[in-house]
């Protein structure tokens, strides 16, 4: 079959040079005549841990199912390890999937659950040794002959991961595997999973709609919105240089103001907002509507005086100061659709509601996007 050539990475995308292990090209998928995904291109390198991050209904599970072969695309190709697997049925792809609800067999014990996939394939050489090794990886060996129904959520999830890994998959797909777990356990499982996959060099795609989870576990993150990838980059690039206002808002918090571009020269523009004029390094057309933003921990509070030429300065009225211990968050009154926040490290006192506060931040840290009027 003739392969569609992959497009070059867009600005803001960072692809490892060898990102050719999994290639999804020009995938289109519709349900009952409604297209939910079109022109989907996605590629990753062997050994990478990539997250699909996006709001509910954006197509994360659909993309995962197409890759796993649980759903066939209307058009497009999936190539794994140089082999076009688009027409290969799921059970012959050597791709393991871990679902949110574990899907363990209640009538089988822990070891039998893990052995299930191997037996189904007729791959029974050293069955016990391989099951023991997989259980060891997730630190569940002591539970081998226990019933799965008596296990906690975290333990069940470990068994599900062992069952997925025991077949030595070419690719591991995890669809919101920790969403049923409480926050503390989730964090433990994230750390465990990340080091397990790293140590074993397993290539995996991790679906989540939790941005902190994605930032914490991934080598790279594909931020999805309405069936498209908005940006595909490593966590720090995504956070520091979001390509679109959607990515800026979805990944992390930000101070965010809407306005109109009133001046632009030499790659620097001035945007007139409800809080005053904001300068940003961006090429936006004069007259265009824009959104400007800055990460709240890059905003300083309280330095009175005129703005330095390379800094933006606003003086909003404080609405609330939340002392959270490791940080203090200032919220200022803002026009609807705008958000004025500042994050200071540690416990900071002396800010009260109704005070006018001076906030300033570097022009270089200011994000700016043209938006539809
Ligand atoms: N079997 C199906 N039949 C009809 N529509 C579907 C089907 N599966 C998915 N869709 C639609 O496709 C779109 C993408 O769904 P998908 O399940 O991939 O989203 P998601 O990103 O995984 O969301 P969530 O975070 O809620 O799991 C949605 O609009 C959904 O309603
Ligand atoms: Mg889903």
Convert the pLDDT of each residue in 171-229 to its tens digit.
999 999 888 778 888 888 888 889 889 888 899 999 998 899 999 999 999 999 999 99
- Return the CATH number of 22-94+169-245, one of 3.40.50.300, 3.30.910.10, 3.30.470.20, 3.40.50.2300: 3.40.50.300
Task: Identify the pLDDT of residue 86.
Answer: 97
CATH 3.40.50.300 residue ranges of the chain are 22-94+169-245
Q: Which of 34, 62, 174, 211 for a ligand 1 pocket mutation test, highest count of atoms within 8 Å of Cβ?
A: 62
CATH topology of domain 253-371: OB fold (Dihydrolipoamide Acetyltransferase, E2P) (2.40.50)
For residue 64, the ligand 1 atom closest to its alpha carbon is 18
CB 209 less than 6 A from any atom of ligand 1? yes
Q: Is residue 19 over pLDDT 80? A: no
Task: Identify the pLDDT of residue 200.
Answer: 85
Q: Is residue 8 over pLDDT 60? A: no
In this structure, which residues have their CB less than 5 angstroms from ion ligand 2?
61
Q: What is residue 333's three-state secondary structure?
A: coil
Inter-helix orientation angle 127-137/110-120, to 10°: 120
- Over residues 263-304, the pLDDT tens digits come to 999 999 999 999 999 999 999 999 999 999 999 999 999 866
pLDDT above 90 covers a percentage of the chain that reads: 73
Query: The tokens of 147 are what?
Result: 């019933």
Task: Identify the pLDDT of residue 166.
Answer: 92
CATH 2.40.50.140 residue ranges of the chain are 253-371
* Listed residue (247, 248, 256) closest to 339, CA to CA: 256
Task: Identify the pLDDT of residue 179.
Answer: 82
Q: Is residue 13 over pLDDT 60? A: no
Average pLDDT over residues 253-269: 96
Q: Binning pLDDT at 50, 70 and 90, where does residue 5 land?
A: very low
Ligand 1, atom 1: closest residue by C-alpha: 31
For residue 60, the ligand 1 atom closest to its alpha carbon is 21
CA dist 260 and 115 (Å) reads: 62
CA dist 344 and 346 (Å) reads: 7
Mean pLDDT of the chain, nearest integer: 91
* Listed residue (39, 32, 95) closest to 64, CA to CA: 95
């Amino acid at each position: 079959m003739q392969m569609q050539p992959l497009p070059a990475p867009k600005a803001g995308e960072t692809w490892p040079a060898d990102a050719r292990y999994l290639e999804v090209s020009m995938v289109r998928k519709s349900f009952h005549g409604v297209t939910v995904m079109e022109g989907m291109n996605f590629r990753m390198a062997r050994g990478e841990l990539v997250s699909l991050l996006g709001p509910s209904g954006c197509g994360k599970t659909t993309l995962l199912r197409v890759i796993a072969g649980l759903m066939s695309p209307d058009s497009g190709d999936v190539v794994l390890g140089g082999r076009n697997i688009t027409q290969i049925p799921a059970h012959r792809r050597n791709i393991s999937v871990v679902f949110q609800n574990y899907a363990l067999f209640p009538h089988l014990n822990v070891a039998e659950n893990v052995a299930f996939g191997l037996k189904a394939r007729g791959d029974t050489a050293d069955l016990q040794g391989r099951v023991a090794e997989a259980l060891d990886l997730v630190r569940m060996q002591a539970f081998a002959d226990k019933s799965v129904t008596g296990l906690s959520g975290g333990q069940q999830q470990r068994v599900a991961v062992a069952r997925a890994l025991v077949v030595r998959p070419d690719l591991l797909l995890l669809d919101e595997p920790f969403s049923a777990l409480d926050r503390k356990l989730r964090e433990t499982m994230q750390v465990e999973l990340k080091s397990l996959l790293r140590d074993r060099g397993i290539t995996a795609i991790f679906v989540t709609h939790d941005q902190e989870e994605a930032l914490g576990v991934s080598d790279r993150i594909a931020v999805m919105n309405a069936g498209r990838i908005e940006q595909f980059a490593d966590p720090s690039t995504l956070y520091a240089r979001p390509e679109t206002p959607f990515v800026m808002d979805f990944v992390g918090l930000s101070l965010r103001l809407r306005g109109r571009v009133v001046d632009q020269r030499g790659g620097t523009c001035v945007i007139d907002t409800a809080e005053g004029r904001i300068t940003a390094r961006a090429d936006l057309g004069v007259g265009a509507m824009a959104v400007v933003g800055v990460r709240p921990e890059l905003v300083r509070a309280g330095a009175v005086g005129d703005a330095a030429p390379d800094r933006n300065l606003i003086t909003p009225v404080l609405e609330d100061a939340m002392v959270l211990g490791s940080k203090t968050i200032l919220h200022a009154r803002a026009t609807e659709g705008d958000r004025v926040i500042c994050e200071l490290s540690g416990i900071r006192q002396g800010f009260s509601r109704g005070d006018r506060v001076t906030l300033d931040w570097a022009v270089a840290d200011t994000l700016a996007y043209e938006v539809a009027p």
